[in-house]
A and B are shown apart, each in its own frame.
Chain A
């Protein structure tokens, strides 16, 4: 206790208005906004590089590999039809992974630059609570120091969920992190979980030539999204030769030499055995607060590891401590964490920002991409809301035909009475970019006809959105 009392009065103890723990998309964005608002800000990162899961082992590297695999797939299957004759393309996996790592490094540097530019003090080390007003920083060399903070933002993110009966050895039975560092292309990759991450990484290796088997407990792919999306995505991925074991409950996984065996029960309770050379476990992510010493701040995580926050301020039960991103309730999405990061910095500055959680888009970066915002058809049915549905397929779109990206559709759900757009679900080329239009429209509570009456450039993929809105308004799409 004597030591602690000394550290409190230590004239050299650094003091900040805002200390952010974690430099993922939520944390570093929050730090920038806090600095913009004039707060003396510090950010603590456990790893040597900035950017968190998203940048290092998530969104960015997986997109780098998705695009590489897509190029390869096109070279093998589509170049000839485009009139480009090339010798049979070969995969240089080492280069592919190296390029991905280069992308990540470039982005790491980008964040460090932004921290410097905004005069944010960066600390590398493990941040943990010392009290509700101080954070202890333990550096890699074992030394430590205590930072005083008027406000502390917890942005420690999440880690892949691991089940006890699946022995992840990070060599043959792997998580998404290892899937981004492969040294060989699997011959048969068994993917446990066909949600967003499983679909993305599974499709990468399917395009690079792996046989991919998806084992999923739910009835279809990406089960949290509108059912039409799951069905369409399955059709596209099936074309890559993938196999699907839906309504299957995994009971065990084991490794023998280079062979992985996954056992599962189908809906009828019958045991199914699948053998491959790699097994990728993508059953979800858990909030990550390990080593944070929440108790010292008077905080406790709930039974799912999340930190409870006030809906209006994102403040935890302890005044001056806030939490954002994957460690709090809501979708585990980088852009949701970013919104919350900005939100909290503005709350600390006494402003009253808003986040419309219903309008945070969900995206799956497969090819074709899947994107959605607002309510699914299932949710509207459950809520008893009368709605109209309008869809438009990409294959009827000039631009899609020209590019040979004809898989997919846009589906618009609108209120039966007011025509207000309640949900937009799209699967197809560039859906991830196109969903922004739906978000803008819905933030302004546009009707389907409003969007249908706005000019959309021709020929573009966005015409599918206009046509789907026409269809939703009164079944009068022009090109269907």
Chain B
């Protein structure tokens, strides 16, 4: 049976693709989900995974332009007969035929564990930890692994009881719907079935021909070492050796992520051995340090952050306005009432509540700062959902204080404590991190004097708090020492004019320098 593989619909506006490169050759034995070729559209490059395991027959050559839906290649599937033959030939009389079939031809008994849809904007997840090993027996609903998306971490329960076979290793990035693992239902037959299925993996045709594709992708000893040092998986290398074997040359040419680090190793080592040859060996140990750089895969959180920050820089007209706040009044107030406040509300009185409150008042007066752009329209928010930037173990997260304008100072403080606590434990839900209308970030906790924050899109403005430093300032003609904080407001000039942004920041300053205004709403 042959399966035709067609150009998938890759995006709304894309009508055709170009075949960029074939990773596999005509007649190769390909595995399910193995990348067959790369396709290019006018927007992006993407990989085409095999829809089935079998022998590849290429239809479209490299450089061919194909409309969506056109046939690229076909895969000849021959698993069922092989399975039966092997079962007959195998000297393992105890293996029931059905159990062999369970692996190869009746997939209903092998449940594929796929990445669930976890949120609207999430397209892929990173496997962070497997709680179970391949071959472990798992129970229904038992947590088998932890997944990490760019927004949150979540746990994946087993969909069925059975024997687990891990497909995606920790660190692997898997698209929604991608296969993470397989669970074989009916544990006792599995070990034998696995052995037989290894044999099944090879197509019948290779049994007697020299073109032994069972070894396709097998690296030579030198190639294996090189690939490991580059951090390249053998599965990502197209072997040019006999039967698709990966030669040393293939491994050297496999320029994947870490080619630079391999280069870094070699000169250090050869320089060191040169020094041995020339006789100056004793002092060499410091210069021998084999690797001075380390390479780690970016987490999906980091990748998303990076992509968004660049997008914001490129797609908005961002600039920053500054001001300074005399913190004495707020500090005096806090000094006077912090004990009573804590006693009554069970939460400490920090600066965050004052800033949040002041921002809410100012946002009401300057609605464009609390807006966003949607196509050709401006969306004004008649509520203040304030995002606060929190440093979490895996990077920056921005949980949201809902309807902050209606909360008391105590209400805001307890929300901050709750959200920051969850952030530190990686327990924030997606919902708690989405939908903010304006962001406050505090670089002051790390000692920043002044910096220009980047807008948290699609919001249009962000307030940056900084450290409080005693400075000499002039009050009523006298030089006095006051605790001063610089404030920065970055904003999207496309919809916020200078008058509004500057006035907004001045208003925040006024409210903080005279907190009674917060009470009186003036």
Chain A interface residues (CB < 8 Å from chain B)? 17, 35-40, 118-119, 150, 349-354, 356, 381, 383-386, 415-420, 443-447, 449-450, 453, 473-474
Contacts and interface: CB of A to CB of B under 8 A. Distances in A.
Given A118-B276, A350-B265, A385-B199, 7 more contacts: A37-B269, A40-B281, A356-B221, A384-B91, A386-B86, A386-B89, A446-B212
Contact of A384 (B95, B210, B228): B95
Interface size class of B (residues with CB under 8 A): 35 or more
A37 B207 CA distance: 44
SS class, residues of chain B in contact with chain A: helix
Nearest to B226: A352
B218 interface: yes
B108 interface: no
A194 B275 CA distance: 50
A297 B265 CA distance: 30
Among A354, A449, A453, residue most surrounded by chain B Cβ atoms (within 10 Å): A354
Contacts of B199: 385-386, 415-418
29 contacts: A36-B273, A38-B275, A38-B287, A40-B281, A40-B282, A349-B290, A350-B265, A350-B291, A351-B265, A354-B224, A383-B195, A384-B91, A385-B195, A386-B86, A386-B89, A416-B199, A418-B202, A419-B208, A420-B212, A420-B214, A444-B215, A444-B218, A445-B212, A445-B215, A445-B218, A446-B215, A449-B210, A450-B212, A473-B208
B82 to A, nearest CB: 7
A416 B195 CA distance: 13
Contacts of B86: 386, 416-417
A420 B215 CA distance: 9
A419 B89 CA distance: 14
SS class, residues of chain A in contact with chain B: loop
Contacts of A443: 220-221
Contact of B202 (A383, A417, A474): A417
Nearest to A356: B221
A383 B288 CA distance: 46
B4 interface: no
A453 B243 CA distance: 15
Contacts of B95: 384
Contacts of B91: 381, 384, 386
Interface string B135-166: 00000000000000000000000000000000
Given A17-B285, A417-B202, A351 B90 contact: no
Contacts of A118: 276
B263 interface: no
Interface in B189-229: 192, 195-196, 199-200, 202, 204, 206-208, 210, 212, 214-215, 218, 220-221, 224-225, 228-229
Contact of B290 (A350, A353, A447): A350
B284 interface: yes
Contacts of B276: 35-36, 38, 118-119
Contacts of B208: 419, 449, 473-474
A188 to B, nearest CB: 44
A385 B87 CA distance: 10
B92 interface: yes
A480 B43 CA distance: 65
B272 interface: yes
A381 B90 CA distance: 9
B291 to A, nearest CB: 4
B214 A445 contact: yes
A-B residue pairs, 7 tightest by C-beta: A38-B272, A350-B290, A352-B228, A445-B215, A418-B214, A384-B92, A386-B90
A24 B85 CA distance: 50
Contacts of A444: 215, 218, 220, 241, 245
Interface string B276-296: 100101101101101100000
A40 B279 CA distance: 12
Nearest to B221: A443
B195 A384 contact: yes
A35 B275 CA distance: 11
Contacts of B287: 38
Contacts of B214: 415, 418, 420, 445
A349 B245 CA distance: 28
